[in-house]
Amino acid sequence: MSKNKGRFITVEGGEGAGKSTNLELIKELLEAAGHPVLFTREPGGTPLGEEIRTLLLGHRDDGMAAETELLLMFGARAEHLNRKIIPALNAGTWVLCDRFTDATYAYQGGGRGIAPERIQILEQWVQHDLRPDLTLLLDLPVEVGLERAGRRSAPDRFESEASQFFQNVRARYLDIAKKESTRVKVVDASMPLPQVQSQIKTVVGAFLSSCR
Ligand code: T5A
């Protein structure tokens, strides 16, 4: 990416990994280094994307086909990229996004069993060559994350899945991190918050240094 363009940073992890808790810290670290930051999330981030999010997360008596779920994720993403993310990056703003396409590989791929090759086709179609510059993967045992998430709010449609679904999600995330270790940095999110935040500061600090 050219020097005058913004950088694209994503935060990923299973349920209750602490993304919301730590996003503000990451934003502060980037801003302290002098970068304008746009904070956004997926699914969602635009008015239409937020409507799609409501459809995706809401409980449905008649369920939802895995393919529908996948296409809705990319529908929201196309809107988000075209209307918000790409214009911001082109204007030199750094974009900090709560989840992105790694979540699709993890949840719709690992969790629902859709072949990664099919996700890849949509990724290329919707994103072209755009990929995050840095991804922080907040990793923790499934039971710990679900217990934390359960303390916070009633389970949405994804959080209502069985434990094996989340084991598969976690395994796929870790697989991505292994294959793309330059971009994806794993943070041990099972630790107490000060230790998690110290790891995040190290990762973000190293990334900022590499951008100078
Ligand atoms: N999805 C998304 C897909 O299936 N495919 C896709 O392509 C995309 C983009 C919504 C859902 O969409 C799915 C995945 C998701 O199921 P979401 O709302 O971003 O995505 O996801 P959630 O995981 O539901 O987000 P949560 O808000 O539940 O979890 P967070 O943000 O990771 O966790 P957070 O910060 O709210 O923390 C949970 C609790 O733990 C405490 C916090 O205080 C809070 O109470 N906590 C800690 N406690 C102890 N020690 C620590 N270190 C702690 N850190 C946080």
pLDDT at 48 over 80: yes
The DSSP H or E segment spanning 187 is: strand 184-188
Question: How many angstroms is it from 3 CA to the middle of ligand 1?
Answer: 32
- Per-residue confidence band for 200, with pLDDT thresholds at 50, 70 and 90: very high
Distance CA 77, CA 38 (A): 16
Mean pLDDT throughout 179-190?
Answer: 98
The DSSP H or E segment spanning 53 is: helix 47-57
- Per-residue confidence band for 3, with pLDDT thresholds at 50, 70 and 90: low
Distance CA 10, CA 69 (A): 21
pLDDT given at position 61: 86
Mutate to test the pocket of ligand 1, among 11, 15, 143 (most ligand atoms within 8 A of CB): 15
**Residue 13 dihedral angles phi and psi, to the nearest 5°:** 155, 165
Question: How many angstroms is it from 116 CA to the middle of ligand 1?
Answer: 23
Question: Are 159 and 15 spatial neighbours (Cβ–Cβ below 8 Å)?
Answer: yes
Neighbour-count burial of 13, counting CB atoms closer than 10 A to its CB (0-12 exposed, 13-18 middle, 19+ buried): buried
